[in-house]
Amino acid sequence: MTILTRITETANVETVEHDFGVTDRLGRKIGATIRFSENTFTQTPDQSWGYGRAPGRYFSFYPCATRNGVRYGASQNERHFDTATARDAAAAKYLTDARKRALK
């Protein structure tokens, strides 16, 4: 049986804007916004939906592509990690890959 949890507390939220220094064919600046946070997942009674994640505190990031500083394109999923180091490495990889896509 999968334990279902929900985010019951979010702390240390920080949003960082990134400009990749290039524009798309319509002249809009391509970039990304990443929201970093720490989330506490808690099991709640009689839960019929939620995350299939063990209860505990996780380090998260939520990336969004931007055009001219405004969210653009499909929504991304928030990603959760056991350590801040793992989260920061995954966010850095996301930015590297997004920058490569922007340069094409």
- The confidence score (pLDDT) of residue 1 equals 59
Q: What is the pLDDT along the chain (104 residues), one digit of tens a residue?
A: 578 899 999 999 999 999 999 999 999 999 999 999 999 999 987 778 888 889 999 999 999 999 999 999 887 899 999 999 999 999 999 999 999 999 88
Helix (H, G, I), strand (E, B) or coil at 83: coil
41/102 Cα distance (integer angstroms) = 34
Residue-number span of the structural domain to which 88 is assigned: 5-103
Which whole-number Å values give the CA distances from 53 to 20, 56, 79, 99, in the listed order?
34, 9, 12, 31
- The confidence score (pLDDT) of residue 99 equals 94
The count of domains in the chain is 1
Report whether 30 contacts 67 (CB < 8 A): yes
26/61 Cα distance (integer angstroms) = 29
Q: pTM for the whole thing?
A: 0.86
Which whole-number Å values give the CA distances from 25 to 28, 67, 97, in the listed order?
8, 11, 20
